[in-house]
Amino acid sequence: MRKLRLIFLLFVIVCAGTFQIRADEQKTADSLWIAENYDKKEYEILMRDGVKLFTAVYSPKDQSEKYPTLLYRTPYSLNPYGEDQFLARIGPSMLFAREKYIFVYQDVRGRFMSEGDYVNMRMHIDIKKGKKDIDESSDTYDTVDWLIKNVKNNNGKVGMWGISYPGFYSAAAVIDAHPALVAVSPQAPIADWWWDDFHHNGAFFLPHCFNFFYVFGKERPELTKDWGKRFNHGTPDGYQFFLEELGPLSKANKFYHDSIPFWNEAVKHPNYDSFWQNMNIIPHLNNVKPAVMTVGGWYDAEDLYGPLAIYDAIEKNNKGIDNTIVMGPWRHGGWARGDGSSLGFVHFGDDPAPSTFYQENIELPFFNYYLKGKGELKLPEAYMFETGLNKWHEFNTWPPADLEESTLHLLSEGQLSFNNLNSGNTYDEFVSDPAKPVPYTTEITTGMTREYMTDDQRFSGRRQDVLVYSTEVLQEDITFAGSMQVNLMVSTSESACDWIVKLIDVYPDDHAGYPHKKDKKYGGYQQMVRSEAIRGRYRNSDENPEPFVPNEITSVPFELLDVLHTFQKGHKIMIHIQSTWFPIIDRNPQKYVDNIFMAKEEDFIKATHRVYTGKPNGSTIEVGILKH
């Protein structure tokens, strides 16, 4: 048996190495093909206030026709620099390179080789009074204007796309856009840092922010082509590092050494005040003229809020424009990074794989139609992938208009039901200890894993400081669609606490498993479908926090972001409730302090938390059910 296991392990290693070699070979082949078929030029494009932005332009060598332009603006560098140095891939996918476009990459203002001062999530200025009033919309406008007038052989039409932070720049570009900018695709766009990336209902996503700003947040004294060094945690165990080495957030500058201006500002603004509000692009998404296709992933650990909120705002504020949302079973940017057939242990199909289907049938046709006048565009209002059953759906509205509203009730003895069968003032309680917080993953990692949003949650539900509620085995398929409203009724023995709610799909004990993980036993797998946290002090207002009154029953309402997921017959629906989730969110001291960023070791105390069930003060989750 041991020999067979060794042979199997060697087989897996060889296969993994083979796949990596093939990927590297393909990357090299793509880069050579680009160099053979495209010319590259570099420019410094003058903005209205005199600042020059460094820009690389890849143009087809074939000059037999005019080509549209695809623009990508980034704070992450347009490496490699030099007109004889080529990217390994240009465009949203290699389909675009072979289709032939003029591809433009630009360092945004204040980053790498572009002049000016960099401002995180630069505030949009609705009414510009002069050339000094600049924002990402105006920089895009000036860039497009220059490209149309100066790049040879362009057809006068420009499109734009970007993933993550570049997705934010794409979203900003649609406001008061240049007439030549006719199609834009914000992909996994940041919308508001109080909801994307670093906060979720005020809960602070610690390793994601800490690790990112150690590199990204350092000031740039002069133009540069180089990234800084990543943070060295000194251990692969992020749970240990953030608990024991970092400890309270007030000790962060032991590692930052006051070299991260944005961190120092964030510490001064623990609540959703004007500092954060000014970085919110949502209120400014008016006067949108280009066609917009916003793209996101159901399992995007960084920017799930952004695509949903940006699509919704554009839809409400700009009647009559072409506005589409696409959501697939992807991690952050997964539609452009791999085939999307699986994430962690969960499989989404490969005939065709979700990313392949998206690139060939959604993304390329969108840009070809608007920029080349090619083909017949048949995109629906919402192109959504249904997880659980693993199939694409086309909707005329999102959320779907014909949802049936229903309520899940948390009941005594760990029951979860669409019928409220219990009466009486029942509750479940647990002791939360900030010194031993619930881990968010079983992986040994210093960051936020790509797979945690589909991970098996059995490790968590077996802890005494996690409450578990489950339905009986489902007798028929049930599909949740749209957002879900959590209405917790809780109390705490102290004055502060966080609340985390997880929606989980429990597989049957005889589940056959998935083809990409043939050695994995899937019986009883508890797949996380959606999860969210709220810092309890913000239960009534993000701007004006308030403590809990000890032992007083209190309402804590918040939203679980959208899903389109089918819990299949034979499965169960499960809910986990806990108050720590470490280190993905920082620890709440559980003693109310004005600014958690300034909490001291002695502020962290144990607390007993209660979740109330049944009638009349029972906790519930309101869901939308899609009838197929």
Domain boundary among the residues 395, 429, 459 is at 395
Residues 392 and 385: beta-carbon distance below 8 Å: yes
293-333 pLDDT per residue, tens: 999 999 999 999 999 999 999 999 999 999 999 999 999 99
pLDDT at 15: 43
User: Do 494 and 409 fall within a single domain?
Assistant: yes
pLDDT at 565: 98
User: Do 359 and 455 fall within a single domain?
Assistant: no
Query: CA 343 to CA 457: how far, in whole Å?
Result: 15
pLDDT at 359: 98
Q: How confident is the model at residue 41 (pLDDT cuts 50, 70, 90)?
A: very high
Q: Phi/psi of residue 372, each to 5°?
A: -115, -10
61-90 pLDDT per residue, tens: 999 999 999 999 999 999 999 999 999 999
Q: How confident is the model at residue 5 (pLDDT cuts 50, 70, 90)?
A: very low
pLDDT at 423: 67
Provide the number of structural domains found in the chain.
2
User: Do 424 and 559 fall within a single domain?
Assistant: yes
pLDDT above 70: residue 546: yes
pLDDT at 21: 53
For the segment 138-160, the average pLDDT, to the nearest whole number, is 98
pLDDT above 70: residue 12: no
pLDDT at 30: 79
Residues 529 and 562: beta-carbon distance below 8 Å: no
Burial of 128: CB neighbours in 10 Å, binned 0-12, 13-18, 19+: middle
The pTM of the full predicted model, rounded to 2 decimals, is 0.94
The continuous run of DSSP H or E covering 323 comes out as strand 323-328
Query: CA 351 to CA 39: how far, in whole Å?
Result: 36
Domain boundary among the residues 395, 422, 451 is at 395
248-264 pLDDT per residue, tens: 999 999 999 999 999 99
User: Do 476 and 521 fall within a single domain?
Assistant: yes
The continuous run of DSSP H or E covering 33 comes out as helix 2-37
Residue 20's CATH number:
3.40.50.1820
User: Do 514 and 443 fall within a single domain?
Assistant: yes
Query: CA 487 to CA 620: how far, in whole Å?
Result: 5
Cα 246 from chain centroid (whole Å) = 25
Q: How many CB atoms lie within 10 A of CB 75?
A: 19
User: Do 383 and 456 fall within a single domain?
Assistant: no
Residue 421's CATH number:
2.60.120.260
Query: Between β-strands 346-347 and 342-343, what pairing exists: parallel, antiparallel or unpaired?
Result: antiparallel
Domain encompassing residue 289? 2-192+279-395
pLDDT at 521: 87
pLDDT above 90: residue 622: yes
Q: Is residue 238 part of a domain?
A: no
Q: Is residue 220 part of a domain?
A: no
Residues 117 and 135: beta-carbon distance below 8 Å: no
pLDDT, the chain, mean: 94
342-373 pLDDT per residue, tens: 999 999 999 899 999 999 999 999 999 999 99
Top-confidence residue, 627 or 283: 283
Q: How confident is the model at residue 10 (pLDDT cuts 50, 70, 90)?
A: very low
Domain boundary among the residues 362, 395, 428 is at 395
Q: Is residue 490 part of a domain?
A: yes
pLDDT above 90: residue 517: no
Cis before 399? omega within 30: yes
pLDDT at 421: 75
114-147 pLDDT per residue, tens: 999 999 999 999 999 999 999 999 999 999 999 9
Q: Is residue 242 part of a domain?
A: no
Q: How confident is the model at residue 617 (pLDDT cuts 50, 70, 90)?
A: confident
For the segment 49-54, the average pLDDT, to the nearest whole number, is 98
199-214 pLDDT per residue, tens: 999 999 999 999 999 9
